[in-house]
Every structure is written in C-alpha cells, then in structure tokens.
Chain A
Amino acid sequence: MFRYIVHRLLLMIPTLLAVSAIVFVIIQLPPGDYLETLIAEMASRGEAVDQNQIEALRRAYGLDKSPVEQYFSWLFGLLQGDFGWSFEHNRPVSELIGQRILLTFVVTFSTIAFIWIVSFVIGTYVATRQYSVSDHVATLIGYLGLATPNFLLALVLMYFANQWFDTSIGGIMDDKYRNAPWTLDKMLSVLEHLWIPVIVIGTSGTAGMIRRLRANLLDELQKQYVVTGRAKGLAPRKLLWKYPLRMALNPFIADIGSILPEVISGSAVVAVVLNLDITGRMLLDALRAQDMFLAGSFLMFLALLVVIGTLLSDLALAALDPRIRLSGGATR
C-alpha cells in the first residue's frame, strides 16, 4: 500500500506540471496583454497614454520577458504561494481569491456528498424494485435531470422562486456578510444558502449515479450467490446489505474522477446565474479582461481540485480493493 501511495503521489507531479503549462499557454493565447487592452480603453476614452508609464508597468509585471521566462517565474511564484498581481483589481491575486476558493471547496464537496447520499438511497430503492412505478418515475426524472443543463435549471428555479414565494434564491450568503470576517453567523448564513446551488449543480451527477448504481446492483442481484443466499433463508435486508450492495458500490468511489470535473464545470456557470461568490463570475470577468494571473490562478486551482480528488478516489479504491493495491496501479 505504501508503495502504491508513493507511486501515485509521484505521478501527480508531472501531471500538475503539464496542467500548469497548458494553463499558462491558454492565458497567454489572446493576442496582446492586459496593458494593451488598457491602452485601447484609455485611448477610446480620449485619455492621453503615457508611453513611459506603460513601459514601466510592463517591466514591473515582467511582461517584457520571453514567454518561457514568464512561465517559470509564474510557476515558482505559485510554488511559493505568490499567485501574481491582478491588473483589473489592482491587488494581489491571493487576496482576491482566498474566500472564493474556500467557498468553491465547500460547494464542491457538499455537492459530491449530496450526489452520494441521494443516489445511494434512490439507486438502492429502485434497483430492488425493478420495473415498479417508482422505478419508472425515477428513470424518467433521471433522464430529465441528465438532459437539463444546470444553468438553465438555476434560471428556472430562480424564476419560480420569484413568482411563487417572492424571494430571491441567489447568493451564497446574506449580503451583509459578504466582506465580513468569518463568524458563526456567517457560516450559518452560508449553510442556509448552500442547498440551492448544491441541488442545482448536483442534479445531473445524481441522475447519472443513480443509473450506474441501479445497473450495477441489478447485475449483482442476478448472480448465483444471491440466489444461494436466498435459498438458504438469509433475511432479504441482510442479503442485500451484506454482499451485492458492497460489490455495486465501487462506482461511488471510482467515478469521482469523472464527477468532480463535471461538478466544478457546473459550479462555474451556475455561479454566474445564481450570483454566487465562488469562482464563476470573477473567472469570467478575468478571462474577458485578459487579467491573466487571476484567470490562471483560478484555472490552476480548479484543475488542482480535480487532480487531488482523483488521487483521493484512487487511494480509497486501493484501500478497498486488494486487486488494485497489489497490482500496483492499473486502475479502471
């Protein structure tokens, strides 16, 4: 097991390096840089542009160096916790994204927990009642859940909340806490608002997970050992819990690698619609304004979240499944 963990950890390093290189290329892709956008903006407003000042800024941010040099100074900065400077907000990136990253983390993991709990309960329920009314209803809702893009679901929910209850369901906390330090009240306010985005983001993942769990469990339930157990008079509940369910639970852990990117993608758009203080809106604005270090830090953080999530799921899988542990890596 120890060897496997080390192996898996070492494998993360090249992945993250490649990710950082791709992120850097992408944020460098737009022609020109933020300063050129700034110049164009100032010129359009009819302000005089001081060429010396621009050159000074360019030197100060290292924009005059070659891309390779810029990449390495950015990378070393990241390693030391220095995420660079946000041109748009004129503040260090780390100051801007701190709370948002924490909230993104909270939303993502609550959503994963939501997906797990709901799909576990519903999936087990419908798999043991194949072709019943509840099974068909769950399948239908599942298909709708898979087909409805979460940002549209958010829009519809907001509309109906406004029409029927005359409330706004946007935001991740009450406005008065927005810039306040973390207190118990603030945390409670976050918890109060959390469930809407969690449901909105988690719906499609839950629908997919229910389908997978149902299919897996149905496969298991048809196997001979279940028949044997039943023939020997094992109580139905015990017969379900003891073996087939455990066998069918693998996707819960193995699929984190595919659910996590989905959840994070979803949260990025839903945040814009629901006006949440997580990555969404700020990333969008940063991308539009070519605020490269801010956008790069967000992208890097989101990818890191996925990489760590995949790592955790691989480790959990290895702990549960001796075949993976002993063969030293070949998962899925």
Chain B
Amino acid sequence: MSADTPNGGSPGNNEPGNEKPNDPIPHFVSDEPFNADVEVVLTAEQEKYYMASQWKLMWWKLKRHKIAVAAGFFLIFLYLVAAFAEVFAPYELQHRDVRNVYAPPQAVHLFHEGKLVGPFVYGYNARRDPETLQKIYTVDTNKVHRIRFFCSGGYPGSEYEFWGLFKGDFHLFCPESRRAPVFLLGTDRLGRDMLSRIIYGSRISLSIGLIGIVLSFGLGIIIGGVAGFYGGWVDNGVQRLIEVLKSFPRLPLWMALSASLPAKWSPIVIYFGITLILAMLDWPSLARAVRSKLLSLREEDFAIAANLMGASTKRIIGRHLVPSFASHLIASASLAIPEMILGETALSFLGLGLRPPVTSWGVLLNEAQNIQVVVLYPWLMAPMIPVILTILAFNFLGDGLRDAADPYK
C-alpha cells in the first residue's frame, strides 16, 4: 500500500461531476489498523472442527454410525473371549465325557416346579436303542443341575493351563459337581463340550484373520507402493501380476495351495502356512488400492512441495503419502478380514486346512459335513453361528469405517 497520494485517506474529494474520462481513479487507503486475521477468527466450535486431526474427524463420523460402533464393541468382546478362552469355557478343550457322547444341548431354566432355583439345566436319562445301538437321551426333570458362576473347579475337565503358562481352574460358570455335567450346546462324537470347543476355536479362527491381514497388508503396501511410486515398467509388471492372480477363483487356488502343505508338518506350522496362503491371494486388491491412491496423491501440491524441499522418496511415501490414505486402508482391511476367516473356515471344513488337535470353527464344522450326521445331531452345526456373527460384525464395522474415512463428505 502506498500512501504517497496527496489526498490519500480522504475520499469524496472529487465530486462525481468533475470527473473526466481519463483521470486516474483516486487511491483509497483505510485508516484502520491492518489485521490479517480478521477474516479467519473462528468460533470455538468451528475451531474444534477445522483444527481436528483426520483421525478425530473419522472417529466423530464413525460414532454416528450406531451399528458400526455396536459391531466394533461386539468384536472387542469376541476377541476378549478368545484371549481368555480358558476362563469363559466351562471345560478344557480336549476333555472327553465318555458317558455323554453326542448329548443334545440343554436349555437353561430358572424355575423348577414353580420355585426359583436360579439358572439350572435338567439332566439326561440315556438309554441305548437296541436296534441301532444309538444312544437316546431324554430330559429327566427330576435331575436339577445348578450352574455356578465365578467358580473354581471341582469337576473333571476344569483344570487348564492358561496360555500354556500357569495352571488354573477358575471359570466364568461351571457345573455344580462331577455328577451334574452341563452341556449348553451339547457334545460331539467323543463327548467333548461343543460350547467350550467353540470358545477355544475362536482363538484360532479370529487370530488367523488378524495375522493374515498383517501379512497381506505388508505385501499390499510394499508392492502397491513400489508400483504406484515408480510407475513405468514396474507398475506394468505389477498390474499384470495382479490381473493374473485375480483371474483365479480364490477358493480352488487356496485348496490347491493348502493341499500342497506336507502332511508331516506340525499343526502349528500348518497354521502359519495356511495364514500365509490366505494372505498370498489377498494382497492384490490392497495393492491395487494403494497404487491408485499413490498415483493420485503424488500429484498433489503437498507431495510436490515435499519433493522440492528435498525430501527423499522414502520420506515422501512414509511421512506424507501413506498417512493420508491410511484411513482408507484400514477400512478396506476390516472388510478383508472376514474373507480370510471365511477362507480358513471353508478350507478346514473341507479337511484341507487346519488339522486337529488345532481347533478352529472350520475344524469343528468339518464334523458336520455328512448330512446323515447333521440330521441326527444338528447341534454340530452350532459353530456356524459365531462364524456368521463375526463376519456380519466385521462387515458392519468396515462399512462404517469406509464411510468415516471420508470425513468431509
């Protein structure tokens, strides 16, 4: 602003009438002190919104998606149960009750003959069909088996080694005594409690999704990142590879790969092998997402600015590009986890995946493969309930996260 005009700061000097077409327009300078911030002053609320980090915005948006939040809490609950399976399950994983083979589920009652006795189940009367030799259980309403809560042991199958580290026999709930077993979801062909096995199985089924996604995330980010950043023939090669991998139907390929794991391997090595196989076919979609995001983001001003300021490639990718689309990645990861869980379940169901004594939901369902067995003992299908609930929860959470990843929308 130049203040050297003679009559600066005093407008209205020139009457409109005196104005000639070629006269310069008089310069106007305000007397008020200059304040650059005047337009930008925000209310406290606006400030909170505009200054919030991306993660905060995402969280606000996610909170409004009630189902996604509920699904998130449900998943946290599931993972807690999986982590403390020993406490939540009334029986130890491999405990066999030979007197109760293929016992049907027991319903929980509160009132016995009109009197409140607290949660209890009725015991069985078992007899053998003389022709088919099949054991037939009938509910005996004279046998009242109370359920205890926050109890420790005192019946076979109650001792466990928590995480294989220290011994214990504390349970969330347990049967009253060794003579009054409680099988809320029935037992399998060896007399093992289905509920306990499902709870223990969640440990494997849920963890395989997490470990798998970490592996596939690593592969996807590295491969997609390299392709997106360098472009050219690297990009072309990766694109072709992704296309080829995507033109395989996943499950048959998973089947073929897991069938090629040597039978000699120990169950735990098989577990990691299966996880790796699941991840190997999952990374292409993630890599593709990373690549396309990188391609569009590296043209953005902030990336060019960082480049001009002499930042290294590694720094630009790691500090500037990846954080700006990490939220999208997390959303697509939470949608990819259920597919892995499903993959493991399907493989184990077919008998190609994990093998006993490792117990996952798929391994449990493997026993329900035969329709004759399922018709006689339908409770063997019970593990499909947690499978469906877990997948539903991950889908809801993933949908919520995906919407939240674009907080300005």
Residues of A with Cβ closer than 8 Å to B?
14-15, 18-19, 22, 26-27, 29-31, 143-144, 146-149, 151-152, 155-156, 158-159, 162-163, 168, 170, 257, 260-262, 264-266, 268-269, 272-273, 279, 283-284, 287-288, 295, 298-299, 302-303, 306-307, 310
With A26-B253, A27-B256, A269-B350: A19-B375 Cβ-Cβ less than 8 Å: no
Residue contact B375 to A265, C-beta cutoff 8 Å? no
Tell me the bound Cα distance from A151 to B350 in angstroms. 10
**B392 at the A/B interface (Cβ < 8 Å)?**
yes
Which B219-261 residues sit within 8 Å CB-CB of chain A?
240-241, 243-244, 246-253, 255-257, 259-260
Residue contact B388 to A303, C-beta cutoff 8 Å? no
Residue contact A306 to B381, C-beta cutoff 8 Å? no
Residue contact A303 to B249, C-beta cutoff 8 Å? yes
Closest to A28 in B: B260
Report B-chain residues with C-beta under 8 Å of the C-beta of A26.
Answer: 253, 256-257, 260
Report B-chain residues with C-beta under 8 Å of the C-beta of A269.
Answer: 251, 346, 349-350
**B374 at the A/B interface (Cβ < 8 Å)?**
yes
Against A, the Cβ 8 Å flags (1 = close, 0 = not) of B39-51 are 0000000000000
Q: List 19 A-B contacts (CB under 8 A).
A: A15-B243, A15-B247, A30-B262, A143-B392, A147-B338, A147-B388, A147-B392, A148-B391, A149-B387, A151-B346, A152-B384, A155-B384, A162-B371, A168-B371, A279-B252, A283-B252, A284-B352, A303-B247, A310-B247
With A30-B260, A146-B395, A299-B256: A19-B371 Cβ-Cβ less than 8 Å: no
Give me 16 other A-B pairs in contact (C-beta within 8 A), A260-B249, A265-B249 excluded. A15-B240, A26-B256, A143-B396, A144-B388, A148-B388, A148-B391, A149-B342, A152-B384, A152-B387, A264-B252, A268-B251, A269-B346, A272-B369, A287-B352, A306-B247, A306-B248
**B365 at the A/B interface (Cβ < 8 Å)?**
yes
Which B379-395 residues sit within 8 Å CB-CB of chain A?
381, 384, 387-388, 391-392, 395
Residue contact B350 to A272, C-beta cutoff 8 Å? yes
B230 to chain A, nearest CB (A): 20
Residue contact A19 to B244, C-beta cutoff 8 Å? yes
Residue contact A265 to B252, C-beta cutoff 8 Å? yes
Closest to A306 in B: B247
Tell me the bound Cα distance from A268 to B252 in angstroms. 7
Closest to B347 in A: A269
Residue contact B256 to A287, C-beta cutoff 8 Å? yes
Residue contact A152 to B246, C-beta cutoff 8 Å? no
With A19-B244, A147-B391, A287-B255: A268-B260 Cβ-Cβ less than 8 Å: no
Closest to B67 in A: A143
Which B317-338 residues sit within 8 Å CB-CB of chain A?
338
Closest to B393 in A: A147
With A29-B260, A273-B369: A144-B392 Cβ-Cβ less than 8 Å: yes
**B378 at the A/B interface (Cβ < 8 Å)?**
yes
Which B339-362 residues sit within 8 Å CB-CB of chain A?
342, 345-346, 349-350, 352
Closest to A309 in B: B247
Which of A22, A143, A155, A306 gathers the greatest number of chain B CB atoms within 10 Å?
A: A155
Which 10 A-B residue pairings sit nearest by Cβ, starting from the closest?
A: A265-B251, A287-B259, A29-B260, A264-B249, A147-B391, A147-B392, A261-B249, A30-B260, A265-B249, A18-B244
With A26-B257, A159-B378: A298-B252 Cβ-Cβ less than 8 Å: yes
Tell me the bound Cα distance from A15 to B242 in angstroms. 10
A142 to chain B, nearest CB (A): 10
B19 to chain A, nearest CB (A): 46
Closest to A265 in B: B251
Report B-chain residues with C-beta under 8 Å of the C-beta of A152.
Answer: 365, 381, 384, 387-388
Closest to B259 in A: A287
Residue among B243, B246, B255, B384 making CB contact with A268, cutoff 8 Å: B255
A104 to chain B, nearest CB (A): 11
Closest to B369 in A: A273
Residue contact B384 to A31, C-beta cutoff 8 Å? no
Residue among B252, B338, B374 making CB contact with A299, cutoff 8 Å: B252
Report A-chain residues with C-beta under 8 Å of the C-beta of B121.
Answer: none
Report B-chain residues with C-beta under 8 Å of the C-beta of A159.
Answer: 371, 374-375, 378, 381
Report B-chain residues with C-beta under 8 Å of the C-beta of A29.
Answer: 257, 260
B402 to chain A, nearest CB (A): 12
Closest to B372 in A: A162
**B405 at the A/B interface (Cβ < 8 Å)?**
no
Report B-chain residues with C-beta under 8 Å of the C-beta of A264.
Answer: 249, 252
**B368 at the A/B interface (Cβ < 8 Å)?**
yes
Tell me the bound Cα distance from A16 to B250 in angstroms. 16
With A18-B244, A158-B371: A151-B260 Cβ-Cβ less than 8 Å: no
Residue contact A283 to B374, C-beta cutoff 8 Å? no
B261 to chain A, nearest CB (A): 8
A203 to chain B, nearest CB (A): 13
Tell me the bound Cα distance from A272 to B346 in angstroms. 11
Tell me the bound Cα distance from A170 to B372 in angstroms. 12
Closest to B394 in A: A147
Residue contact A303 to B248, C-beta cutoff 8 Å? yes
A173 to chain B, nearest CB (A): 18
Report A-chain residues with C-beta under 8 Å of the C-beta of B381.
Answer: 152, 155-156, 159
B65 to chain A, nearest CB (A): 14
Report B-chain residues with C-beta under 8 Å of the C-beta of A279.
Answer: 252
Report A-chain residues with C-beta under 8 Å of the C-beta of B374.
Answer: 155, 158-159
B240 to chain A, nearest CB (A): 7
A159 to chain B, nearest CB (A): 5
